[in-house]
Amino acid sequence: DIVMTQSPDSLAVSLGERASINCKSSQSILYTSNSKNYLAWYQQKPGQPPKLLVYWASTRESGVPDRFSGSGSGTDFTLTISSLQAEDVAVYYCQQYYFSPLTFGGGTKVEIK
Amino acid sequence: QVQVVESGGGVVQPGGSLRLSCTASGFTFSSYTMHWVRQAPGKGLEWVAFIRYDGSNNNYADSVKGRFTISRDNSKNMLYLQMNSLTTEDTAVYFCAKDAFPGIAAAGAPFDYWGQGTLLTVSS
The single-letter DSSP state of residue A87 is: G
Interchain CB distance below 8 Å, B61 and A97: no
Q: Which amino acid is at A17?
A: E
Instruction: Give the span between the Cα atoms of A11 and A20, in whole angstroms.
Output: 9
Instruction: Determine contact, residues A10/A109, Cβ cutoff 8 Å.
Output: yes
Band the pLDDT of B69: cuts 50, 70, 90.
Answer: very high
Say what the alpha-carbon torsion angle B101, B108, A54, A75 is, to the nearest 10 degrees: -170
pLDDT tens string A50-65: 999 999 999 999 999 9
Q: For B95, which of A49, A98, A103 is closest by C-beta distance?
A: A49
User: Is pLDDT above 90 for B109?
Assistant: yes
Band the pLDDT of B105: cuts 50, 70, 90.
Answer: confident
Instruction: Give the span between the Cα atoms of A107 and B118, in whole angstroms.
Output: 21
From B13's Cα to the closest Cα of chain A, the distance in A is 25
Interchain CB distance below 8 Å, B47 and A102: yes
In angstroms and rounded to an integer, the radius of gyration of the C-alpha atoms of chain A is 13
User: Is pLDDT above 90 for B106?
Assistant: no
Instruction: Determine contact, residues B67/B83, Cβ cutoff 8 Å.
Output: yes
Per-residue DSSP letters for B96-118? EEEESSTT--SS---EEEE---E
From B48's Cα to the closest Cα of chain A, the distance in A is 8
From B81's Cα to the closest Cα of chain A, the distance in A is 17
| Range list of H helices, chain B | none
The strand pair at A108-112 and A10-13 is best described as parallel
Instruction: Give the span between the Cα atoms of A33 and A106, in whole angstroms.
Output: 29
Band the pLDDT of B110: cuts 50, 70, 90.
Answer: very high
